């Protein structure tokens, strides 16, 4: 298991990466009330636009009323594309009264943490 954490201001994001055989499972959590708001599954494949490049197909199960899809999809798709492995990401981030600027910061922190997991 590999665990990484990033913080900026009142925002704190945690990711835990588990190897399951050749596959990868990531638990994403953070904010005031971590939860399961989304589950993604990414399967590596060749890019449709550039057959020599990698990509992934990502499927999403999102709980009604939750906005965690963008975060989970980003982590899942990026890891699957770069590692060429099946990747599941589950979890959720909830920050009370989050601002648009803070949402952008969350995505920056997710990119940082995803790179650390690579």
Tokens 């099946």, located at residue = 86
pLDDT at 100 over 90: yes
Give the rounded distance of the alpha carbon of 54 from its chain centre.
Answer: 18
Q: State the chain's maximal CA–CA distance in angstroms.
A: 43
Give the rounded distance of the alpha carbon of 92 from its chain centre.
Answer: 9
Q: Where are the domains of the chain?
A: 2-107
pLDDT at 50 over 90: no
Give the pLDDT score at 25: 98
Answering whether pTM is above 0.85, one says yes
Q: Does CATH place domain 2-107 in 3.30.230.90? A: yes
CB 94 within 8 A of CB 36: no
CB 37 within 8 A of CB 90: no
Q: What percent of the chain has pLDDT over 70?
A: 100
Question: What are 1-42's pLDDT values in tens digits?
Answer: 999 999 999 999 999 999 999 999 999 999 999 999 999 999
Strand order in the sheet with 38-46: 2-8, 11-20, 23-31, 87-94, 38-46, 54-62
- Token pair belonging to 10: 């009142």
Whole-number average pLDDT of the chain: 95
CA-to-CA distance for 57 and 81, rounded, in angstroms?
9
């Amino acid at each position: 298991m590999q665990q990484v954490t990033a913080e900026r201001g009142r925002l704190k994001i945690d990711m835990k990466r588990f190897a399951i055989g050749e596959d990868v499972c990531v638990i994403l959590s953070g904010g005031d009330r971590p939860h399961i708001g989304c589950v993604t599954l990414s399967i590596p494949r060749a890019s449709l636009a550039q057959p020599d490049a990698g990509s992934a197909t990502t499927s999403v199960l999102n709980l009604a009323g939750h906005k965690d899809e963008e975060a989970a999809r980003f982590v899942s798709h990026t890891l699957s594309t770069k590692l060429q492995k099946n990747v599941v990401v589950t979890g959720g981030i909830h920050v009370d009264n989050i601002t648009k600027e803070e949402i952008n910061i969350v995505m920056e922190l997710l990119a940082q943490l995803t790179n650390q997991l690579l």
